[in-house]
């Protein structure tokens, strides 16, 4: 079999297997609406899915493929490479409950979660093949339409740093604010529904005064260059041991420890095509809140810290650091 | 496809044609890379938004398919690197594949699964070379690596896929 025949058979196999994946007839309308009117016309709420997947991520099996060379290694905040024997000892996630629910049920759960209104949590509980239950849920979120509106809301959360400036040429694209519930508040169950297939759908809200802003994502684009973006992700954590935090570094990336005023740690992960600056600041006072999984989480020995990721293709690490220096 | 500059209506005609001709194959490529239908749909939408905005800079040096594939692959790579998407690769199993609209041979789905379970760097070159029919040079430019690196990763991937490819060769 020659190369062209191989390619033809390859494509045929893929296309036959993925016949259920076809283009969206309304994609053109969404693309032109998003680009010309600045409207948010998303078929899916992207960050919602990212967070739902993050739940699954925390409970996934580390595969042989991942162990054999998915990334070059791990470094800690000091840029020290984790020895192989210790890398093997990093917590290995267990099977994802979402993987043990059939795809159509999981898709239903995703659609229900996507239907959540602003500042509403939808939690879907389904039976899995192991005789237990699996849950899928979103986070409490707001989506300001402008950077100015974003800044107004961030004023409520002085513990979350915001960029001191935006590099020249970059324009606001979109943002997402994530909320949890203050420790002395509660997630209020507003409705429960059991579907025909046995799935249980619960909806929760948090009183406005109990909602605590615990993170955000923020993205910018530079005019004329579609692949030139700048993204910021910030998150409040309960933390116990920062030495346990390790950052994966791919084979084509280098890790560079940086000093950023006002941050306890900063490390840049650099490659020819991509740059990430991850920073960490310990908060002087603990910001206590209930975590999104709707069960009270107790960390009596924990402290609060904020982690900030800045990601971009074009902006250099020094500029990314300057954006948050002294914040 | 010729490069179109000018009034917005011409841009819209061009992007619509690009979407009609390419979105399905890009969606499947993104799914094979990201292992998730919703993420793949988001990646495809993001790809065409970027393409629409950059239409004036598309000079026709490469085909529209190649240009869009380049944007889509980089979008997928960025999504995977994102903090909130930082994840452990899950081994893909048959029941995780999207529902099909027609019968498919076991060997075909086995090959698809084998591709999805390749290490990320080998999966990238495999999708670009075998599914999108890009040249080694084009792949190197897309991924920001050297041509020997692309060739090496293709050899490694092909070794892993050899059994499935040879099975498909049986009459």
The answer to whether the CB of A317 falls within 8 A of the CB of A268 is yes
Its CATH architecture, for the domain B1-87, is Orthogonal Bundle (1.10)
Domain-by-domain residue ranges, chain B?
A: 1-87, 94-171
What is the arithmetic mean of pLDDT over A264-283? 90
Q: Note whether A18 contacts B98, CB cutoff 8 Å.
A: yes
Confidence of residue A139 (pLDDT cuts 50, 70, 90): confident
Confidence of residue B102 (pLDDT cuts 50, 70, 90): confident
Cα A231-A237-A242 angle, rounded to 5 deg = 100
pLDDT of residue A300: 65
- In this model, does residue A291 exceed pLDDT 60? yes
What is the arithmetic mean of pLDDT over B79-96? 57
Most B CBs within 10 Å: which of A65, A176, A231, A276, as the mutation test of the B interface?
Answer: A65
Confidence of residue B159 (pLDDT cuts 50, 70, 90): confident
- In this model, does residue A322 exceed pLDDT 90? yes
Listed range (A83-92, A228-237, A287-296) with the worst mean pLDDT:
A83-92
Confidence of residue A295 (pLDDT cuts 50, 70, 90): low
Touching check for A136 and chain B: CB below 8 Å?
A: no
pLDDT of residue A268: 92
Q: What is the secondary structure of A230-242 as a DSSP string? A: EEEEEEEEEES-G
Q: Note whether B90 contacts A16, CB cutoff 8 Å.
A: no
pLDDT of residue B8: 60
| Cα A243 to Cα A20: distance, rounded to the nearest angstrom | 46
Percent of chain A scoring above 90 in pLDDT:
29
Kindly report the backbone phi and psi dihedral angles of residue A305, in degrees, each rounded to the nearest multiple of 5, phi listed first: -140, 155
Total Cβ atoms within 10 A of residue B37? 21
Alpha carbon separation from B124 to A159, B60, B78, B91, B114 (Å, rounded): 40, 24, 13, 16, 13
pLDDT of residue B119: 82
Strand partners, A265: A280
Q: Is residue A320 part of a domain?
A: yes
- Number of domain units in chain A: 1
| Cα B123 to Cα B153: distance, rounded to the nearest angstrom | 9
Listed range (A28-32, B3-7, B97-101, B143-147) with the worst mean pLDDT:
B3-7
Confidence of residue B29 (pLDDT cuts 50, 70, 90): very high
- Nearest CB partner across the interface for A27, out of B23, B81, B90: B23
Q: Note whether A23 contacts B89, CB cutoff 8 Å.
A: no
pLDDT of residue B62: 76
Rg (CA), chain B: 17
Range of the domain at A168: 25-324
Q: Which of A86-95, A192-201, B127-136 has the highest mean pLDDT?
A: B127-136
What is the arithmetic mean of pLDDT over A58-83? 51
Q: Name the residue with higher pLDDT: A71 or B76.
A: B76
Q: Name the residue with higher pLDDT: A153 or A240.
A: A153
| Contacting residues of B for A43, CB less than 8 Å apart | 41-42, 45
Confidence of residue B86 (pLDDT cuts 50, 70, 90): very low
- Those of residues 152-181 in A touching chain B at CB distance below 8 A are none
Tens digit of each residue's pLDDT (9 = 90 or more) over A300-309: 677 888 989 9
pLDDT of residue A41: 38
Listed range (A182-186, B45-49, B92-96) with the worst mean pLDDT:
B92-96
Q: Is residue A162 part of a domain?
A: yes
Q: Is residue A262 part of a domain?
A: yes
pLDDT of residue B35: 84
Structure tokens at B135: 């040249």
What is the arithmetic mean of pLDDT over A295-317? 80
pLDDT of residue A75: 79
Q: Name the residue with higher pLDDT: A73 or B11.
A: B11
The answer to whether the CB of A310 falls within 8 A of the CB of A277 is yes
Confidence of residue A96 (pLDDT cuts 50, 70, 90): very low
Touching check for B140 and chain A: CB below 8 Å?
A: no
Confidence of residue A67 (pLDDT cuts 50, 70, 90): very low
Total Cβ atoms within 10 A of residue B64? 18
- In this model, does residue A326 exceed pLDDT 60? yes
Report the gap between the CA of A244 and the closest CA in chain B (Å). 17
β-strands A254-257, A247-249 pairing: unpaired
| Contacting residues of A for B88, CB less than 8 Å apart | 57, 60-63, 66, 93
The CATH code for residues B94-171 is 1.10.10.10
Q: Which residues have a Cβ under 8 Å from the Cβ of B114 and sit 6 or more positions away?
A: B160, B161, B164
What is the arithmetic mean of pLDDT over A275-283? 92
Listed range (A37-51, A89-103, A207-221, B125-139) with the worst mean pLDDT:
A37-51
């Amino acid at each position: 079999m020659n190369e062209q025949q191989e390619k033809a058979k390859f494509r045929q196999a893929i296309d036959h297997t993925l016949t259920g994946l076809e283009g969206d007839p309304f994609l053109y309308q969404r693309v032109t609406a998003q680009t010309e009117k600045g409207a948010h016309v998303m078929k899916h709420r992207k960050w919602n899915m990212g967070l739902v997947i993050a739940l699954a991520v925390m409970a996934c099996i580390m595969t042989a493929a991942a162990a054999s060379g998915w990334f070059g290694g791990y470094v800690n905040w000091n840029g020290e490479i984790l020895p192989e024997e210790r890398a093997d000892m990093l917590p290995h996630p267990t099977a994802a409950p979402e993987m043990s629910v059939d795809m159509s049920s999981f898709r239903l759960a995703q659609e229900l979660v996507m239907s959540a209104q602003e500042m509403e949590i939808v939690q879907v509980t389904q039976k899995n093949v192991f005789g237990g239950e699996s849950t899928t849920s979103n986070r409490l979120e707001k989506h300001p339409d402008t950077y100015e509106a974003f800044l107004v809301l961030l004023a409520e959360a002085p513990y979350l740093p915001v960029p001191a400036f935006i590099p020249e040429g970059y324009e606001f694209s979109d943002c997402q604010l994530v909320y949890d519930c203050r420790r002395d508040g509660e997630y209020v169950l507003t409705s429960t529904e059991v579907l025909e297939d046995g799935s249980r759908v619960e909806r929760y809200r948090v009183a406005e005064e109990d909602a605590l802003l615990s993170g955000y994502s923020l993205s910018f684009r530079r005019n004329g260059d579609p692949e030139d973006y700048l993204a910021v992700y910030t998150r409040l954590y309960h933390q116990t041991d920062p030495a346990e935090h390790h950052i994966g570094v791919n084979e084509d990336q280098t890790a560079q420890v940086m000093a950023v005023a006002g941050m306890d740690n900063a490390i840049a992960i650099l490659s020819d095509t991509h740059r990430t600056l991850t920073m960490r600041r310990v908060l002087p006072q603990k910001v206590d809140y209930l975590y999104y999984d709707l069960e009270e989480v107790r960390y009596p020995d924990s402290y609060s810290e904020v982690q900030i990721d800045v990601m971009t293709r074009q902006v250099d690490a020094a500029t990314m650091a300057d954006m948050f220096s002294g914040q | 496809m010729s490069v179109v500059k000018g009034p917005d209506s011409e841009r819209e005609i061009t992007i619509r044609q690009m979407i009609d001709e390419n979105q399905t194959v890009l969606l499947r490529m993104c799914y094979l890379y990201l292992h998730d239908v919703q993420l793949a749909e988001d990646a495809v939408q993001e790809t065409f938004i970027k393409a629409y905005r950059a239409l004036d800079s598309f000079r026709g040096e490469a085909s529209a398919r190649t240009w869009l594939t380049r944007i889509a692959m980089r979008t997928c790579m960025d999504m995977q690197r994102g903090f909130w998407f930082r994840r452990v690769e899950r081994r893909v199993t048959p029941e995780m594949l999207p529902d099909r609209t027609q019968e498919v041979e076991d060997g075909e789905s086995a090959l698809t699964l084998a591709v999805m379970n390749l290490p990320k760097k080998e999966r990238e070159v495999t999708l670009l070379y075998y599914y999108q029919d890009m040249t080694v040079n084009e792949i190197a430019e897309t991924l920001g690596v050297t041509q020997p690196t692309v060739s090496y990763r293709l050899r490694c991937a092909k070794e892993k896929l050899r059994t499935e490819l040879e099975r498909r060769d049986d009459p």
